[in-house]
Amino acid sequence: MWLKFALRDLTIVLIGIVAWSLMADWGAQETMRGDLSGLVIGLLIGAGGYFLHEWGHLAGAWMTGSRVEAPKTLKTGFLFSFDSRENDLRQFLVMSFSGFAATALVIWAFYTFLPDGLLATRVARGVVLFGAFLTVVIELPLVLYAVISRKLPPVENGGHAQNPSAAPDIPS
């Protein structure tokens, strides 16, 4: 299932990149075409930031051999469910901070490489900053709870496979 998610996410990002290369400059124009293209392209590129955040979490889970579940369907916003009953605090923290690091990298990249003056840039940056805000409001308290209590919060998501899959072997 991971390959299907990778293909889904890469397809959306590639559509955003192609649309950017063809139409991002329209967003510099104060026209309906510029507004619409800038919004759509910015949302697509911003979605890529969200995908990297989620893949960052999953990479951290895999690196520590965490037990995770893949969703049963591609129609979900969650890439995986972390098994808080089977995993330990170290695995939870690495999984969490890997997603945070991915988000920080995306913010840096968006502010370093996306050109100023385009609506698509402003929308993409806004999307990734909103995601970072949600991370601070939703995910950081879970990490603080885990660190203070030395217990994992229940973070399992619904809609996942019945049988959890252990992390795949990561080539060294």
**pLDDT digit string (tens) for 108-166?**
999 999 999 999 999 999 999 999 999 999 999 999 999 999 999 998 876 544 444 44
Question: What DSSP string runs through 87-105?
Answer: S-HHHHHHHHHHHHHHHHH
Tell me which residue range forms the domain holding 118: 2-166
In a domain, 89, yes or no: yes
Residue 76 has pLDDT above 80, yes or no: yes
In a domain, 171, yes or no: no
In a domain, 172, yes or no: no
Which of 92, 74, 72 lies closest to 149 in space, CA to CA? 92
In a domain, 153, yes or no: yes
Q: How far apart (Å, rounded) are the C-alpha atoms in residues 118 and 150?
A: 46
Least confident of 15-24, 26-35, 78-87: 26-35
pLDDT of residue 161: 46
Read off the tokens for 91: 């695995």
User: Number of folded domains in the chain?
Assistant: 1
In a domain, 15, yes or no: yes
In a domain, 94, yes or no: yes
